[in-house]
Structure 1
Amino acid sequence: MVVVLYSGGLDSTFVVFLLKKLNVQFYCVYIKICLWASTVWLSEYCQCEALAAVLCFPLLFIDLSQQYYNYIFNRFYKGYVNSLTPNPDIFCNTKLKFNYFANYCLRCFGKPLFYFSGHYVRKCVNFISVARDLVKDQTYFLCTVFCFCNLFFLLGCFYKSEVRFFITFLGLVTYINASSRGVCFLRINDFANFISLYCTRRVIVYDATYNFYGYTRCGYITVGQRYPNSTLQHAYVFRKQPNAIFITNQHSIRLLTKHVRVLQRTLFKTVIFPKVYFCKVNSCSRFFKCFVYCVDLPYFVRFVYPVRVLAKGQFLAIYDGGVLVAGMEII
């Protein structure tokens, strides 16, 4: 039995179109994730129903708002309060979409399932590799998913522009749910404003010489980001604690690092030292050359060239020739 994770957006609609062309029998499932008591999701679901009527596919509905709040948002919020920088999209894929949701479907349908999603990822047997569209590549968001044996991704060999062209050519662009973007499809495109709603505690600001600089309520700013309320030109955060942040100018050596201590979350292949791997430190970053070694737990990642300082709680995706090798969390 085939289940498609459907948001009504450009990518998931194109996956549905491809499965229809392949004559695959499938169910589409719309997952409701809502943090607030609003009816925004209802208009999105109505758009999904309109697309289901046009393309003639069955559409199911599941409400996982409470699970999202319990498993994802609480961990994400507590991480920021404790000066960590977690990624809610990685949590959502690992804990909700390909764990809780998969178990829920197995209980409901009572048979083995195959899941299709609109991620830009290429699958090789039980491994995943970087998508053809390097700008849109989403392997970083799946770096902590434990198993890919029953997951399938059809968009890994397409560019985003090609998907957009096909949807426009099919005349479906007027039905597409344009709001299925942002953090976990919550219409959160301004991440800083979203975090500032919850991280309102006043913190102390110190400069590079650890002298008192002032107070701020910008506790949502993380390591490596620009500090907005400063008389210093181009001030950046190089260190963060639960009750304090430390800033310096953009040319300071404190903004660079060559190694980080990490905790292994997933390991798909054996890591060999001194082999050179490639690493992504966020979804938008380029690939950095690095070594991965472990004298005694935990692991260490050493970059060949210095990179912008990284925050605790941030995830690293390690690649070998384009294949995802491991997912690790900075500690």
Structure 2
Amino acid sequence: MSNAATNVPPRILVAMSGGVDSSVAALRLQQQGHAIVGAYMKNWINEDNVIGECPWQQDIEDARAVCDRLGIEFRVVNLMREYRERIVQYLLDGYAHGQTPNPDVMCNREIKFGVFRAWARDHGFSAVATGHYARRVEVPAPSPTPGAPAGAGPAATPTCQLWEGADKNKDQSYFLALLNQEQLRDALFPIGDLPKPELRRLAREAGLPTADKKDSQGICFIGEVKMADFLRAYVPDAPGPILRATDGKELGQHRGLHFYTIGQRRGIGVPSNTNHEAYVVVGKRAADRALLVAFDHPDAPGLFQSEVRVHSLSWIGTPLTTPGALEARVRYRDPRVPIEFIPEGGGTARVRFRDPQRGLATGQILALYAGEQLLGGGIYV
């Protein structure tokens, strides 16, 4: 982003969620001498009365209180239409087709660093900062070729890399796996080098109203709403049989495949056997709306996979076009695991795991790494 006024220092727009992480992100930028403005993205207000807590009003007041404490301007940016079109519809379409979408990853790509970033650029801001636990590393552009005339050719642009947050218990790089280089150049992550206890300490020392506020665990900018309740409000029930995958025996009925995901154990509605062995979801068959389950053993059919395909590959830097060894995170809380990455062209690739992985579901995000550096990601076929 470039500032339209040449004599005005660049301004940074801080995405204020009303939580302590974004509050300290603003605090640190201010302490570093940056000109900042806080903004709450008003994406969802639970106007359809979905069961659950949607604390957007309290979040706005908390974000405003932090900005008042810091003595900075506060704005509310209404992105409700874009959020419903790009995130809520993506979420509902995915579940309706038997997939397991990730609204948090898409919210970062489409909203925070999509329409919110565009709004920031249009209003003269040089960058967007968030409270993500991730580190943005700027790699200097190569030096000019010796002997080349001064000013020959366009100036080389530095490359931005994205690394895991220093606090491995809080690292959120996974949720940024579908960002591209252009988006990352305009992004700042001021708390990526902090452990959470230190962040809380800084917030208390600065007297921030959110210093002891509990971390949100809800859907991105929707709130503490159970996914099943959210889906029940928007996706019609589509009952079908619950079948044992090993022999096809019917064990019961379900209300809709969209309420389940591969690897799920709780809430299936089928009791354990006499040996107290629990059932786990191992497959979903759209043709007859059958939910396939098996006992939760390592040899349960379909529960573990050694190879998957991914589509819609997105790269932060230069795309990988040749096979090679990488690491991948199959879910947010899972550790990085060794893989063989085999590009197929057209934004697709095969991924072979050194060790079989449990419960991989169509529509989930696979994040690709080289050590702590996030390279990009794709979506399970």
Provide the TM-score with structure 1 as the length reference: 0.92
Does the 8 A contact of 2:13 with 2:125 survive in 1? no
State the secondary structure of the residue aligned to 1:183: coil
CA distance in 2, matches of 1:272, 1:253: 34
Higher Cα Rg, which structure: 2
- Give 1:152 deviation, angstroms: 1.1
- Give 1:197 deviation, angstroms: 4.0
Does the 8 A contact of 1:44 with 1:177 survive in 2? no
Does the 8 A contact of 1:196 with 1:218 survive in 2? no
Q: 5+ residue gaps in structure 1?
A: none
Cα shift readout 1:238-281 (whole Å, capped 9, x = no counterpart): 11234221100111332111010111431224437553211111
1:224 paired with 2:271, answer: no
Q: How many residues align?
A: 329
1:53 paired residue number:
68
Give the letter for the 2:87 counterpart.
I
Moved more, 33-42 or 255-264: 33-42
- Give 1:71 deviation, angstroms: 1.0
1:203 paired with 2:240, answer: yes
Does the 8 A contact of 1:140 with 1:280 survive in 2? yes
1:67 paired with 2:67, answer: no
CA distance in 1, matches of 2:336, 2:98: 26
State the secondary structure of the residue aligned to 2:220: helix
Does the 8 A contact of 2:40 with 2:77 survive in 1? yes
Give the letter for the 1:145 counterpart.
L
1:4 paired residue number:
14
1:30 paired residue number:
40
1:258 paired with 2:292, answer: no
Give the letter for the 1:161 counterpart.
P
Matches for 1:81-100 after TM superposition, within 5 Å: 81-100=96-115
- Give 1:40 deviation, angstroms: 4.1
CA distance in 2, matches of 1:179, 1:133: 15
CA distance in 2, matches of 1:61, 1:179: 21
- Give 1:43 deviation, angstroms: 2.8
* Residue 114 to residue 100, structure 1, CA distance change in 2 (3 Å): same
1:16 paired with 2:55, answer: no
1:323 paired residue number:
373
CA distance in 2, matches of 1:142, 1:73: 18
Cα shift readout 1:29-67 (whole Å, capped 9, x = no counterpart): 111121522794223212222222222111011111121
Does the 8 A contact of 2:321 with 2:343 survive in 1? no
2:176 paired residue number:
142
1:133 paired with 2:177, answer: no
Matches for 1:206-285 after TM superposition, within 5 Å: 206-208=243-245, 209-217=247-255, 219=257, 220-228=259-267, 229-232=269-272, 233-242=277-286, 243-251=289-297, 252-254=299-301, 255-267=303-315, 268-271=317-320, 275-285=324-334
CA distance in 2, matches of 1:180, 1:197: 22
Percent identity of paired positions between Structure 1 and Structure 2 = 26
1:154 paired residue number:
190
- Give 1:296 deviation, angstroms: 5.7
Does the 8 A contact of 1:47 with 1:175 survive in 2? no
Among 292, 306, 319, the residue aligned to 2:356? 306
* Residue 135 to residue 197, structure 1, CA distance change in 2 (3 Å): farther
Does the 8 A contact of 1:113 with 1:150 survive in 2? yes
Moved more, 196-205 or 276-285: 196-205
1:183 paired with 2:200, answer: no
- Give 1:143 deviation, angstroms: 0.6
* Residue 235 to residue 35, structure 1, CA distance change in 2 (3 Å): farther
Q: 5+ residue gaps in structure 2?
A: 1-10, 139-159
* Residue 120 to residue 92, structure 1, CA distance change in 2 (3 Å): same
Provide the TM-score with structure 2 as the length reference: 0.80
CA distance in 2, matches of 1:21, 1:178: 24
- Give 1:177 deviation, angstroms: 5.5
CA distance in 1, matches of 2:215, 2:319: 40
CA distance in 2, matches of 1:77, 1:302: 30
State the secondary structure of the residue aligned to 1:253: coil
CA distance in 2, matches of 1:173, 1:190: 27
Aligned alpha-carbon RMSD (Å): 2.2
CA distance in 2, matches of 1:230, 1:325: 41
State the secondary structure of the residue aligned to 1:301: strand
Does the 8 A contact of 2:252 with 2:270 survive in 1? no
- Give 1:25 deviation, angstroms: 0.6
